Structure 1
Amino acid sequence: MTDAAGSTFVYVTYIRTTPEKLWMALRSPEFTKQYWYGVTQESEWKVGSSWRMIFQDGRVADTGEVVEIDEPRRLVLKWRNEFRPELKVEGYSLCTIELEPLEAAVKLTITHEMEQPGAKFIEAVSGGWPKILSNLKSLLETGQAVPGL
């Protein structure tokens, strides 16, 4: 969704797991690597700490900062793409990850937004998040990510 106030992408999925397992999966470098196409994350996971995503070859994919953390319910990251110049120039976005426990599942909501209307970065994540989160859901529910997704 894009409006005069900026650009926003929202994705909601339901995963048969616990909030604690999903929270671990969202932050663990070893687990992230399995559903995020080999990419890992580095952070101390404290408010104000740096955050970055690293490709398998060591290049930095994205950088930012932990803005808010409320384990295992909410994580807010300041996020900038580092490997595509046309996206990097747009600056920082804000990614809010919310977990809401249900009876036998967790509702996972990702809200990725920028102040810039028509942001190319938000357009890019709107294609990436569904694949990544489908992989995460499959991995948590079956023990395997979806090959070739």
Structure 2
Amino acid sequence: MTNTTATDTVQINRVYIRATPERVWEAITSPEWNGKYGYGAPAKYDLRPGGKYEAYATEEMKAYDPNLGDICVDGEVLEADPPRKLVQTWRMCMDQGTKEEGFTRLTWEIESSFDGVCKLTVTHELSGAPKLAELVSGALERTGAGGGWSFVLSDLKSLVETGAPLAG
């Protein structure tokens, strides 16, 4: 993992996963997979430029925040090159402050590395979104807000390699 700070306007996280690029791509883009790791919000992608991206709030999220709507993160697909690259906009809708910061840019890059291992690099461009930058950096973990991209990618790695998320 690459270390990031809450003040970084571009945060880069990297993880190595013993899996094929196709399997990692599926874990990112398929709601059957992406709802099993991270914060458990299944997400749907329309994998074409201009296509919609939506991550759906779970019942647990809604119980924690009764004002939360059905969509917790939304955006648009800018580029999809399976199984190598996905570029999208990304907006956190779970609280008004991060929602008002607007859309940020998120790039997923998957590369074969060595002996059946893939390198997954997530680049999150957060200019103009300081609240979101702090949240996704993991700086608010001690408050119960979660470990940001480091946690999400660690959980994805665990699920793909073992079939079970970190806290399952």
* Equivalent in the alignment of 1:27: 29
1:7 equivalent among 6, 9, 27 = 9
Q: Spell out the pairing of 1:97-116 with structure 2 (5 A cutoff).
A: 97-103=108-114, 104-116=116-128
TM-score, normalised relative to structure 1: 0.90
- Could you tell me how far apart the structure 1 residues matched to 2:38 and 2:15 are? 16
- Shift of residue 119 of structure 1? 1.4
Extract unaligned runs of 5+ from structure 1: none
Extract unaligned runs of 5+ from structure 2: 60-68, 139-147
- Shift of residue 45 of structure 1? 1.2
- Could you tell me how far apart the structure 1 residues matched to 2:149 and 2:52 are? 21
* Equivalent in the alignment of 1:122: 133
1:49 equivalent among 39, 51, 55 = 51
Displaced runs of 4 or more, over 2 A: none
> Percent of aligned positions with the same letter in both sequences?
40
Give 1:108's aligned amino acid.
L
Report the more deviating stretch, 17-26 or 48-57.
48-57
- Could you tell me how far apart the structure 2 residues matched to 1:142 and 1:114 are? 32
Please, what is the CA RMSD of the aligned residues? 1.9
* Equivalent in the alignment of 1:66: 77
TM-score, normalised relative to structure 2: 0.80
User: Matched residue of 1:102: which SS?
Assistant: strand
1:37 equivalent among 36, 39, 43 = 39
For this pair of structures, how many residues does the alignment match? 145
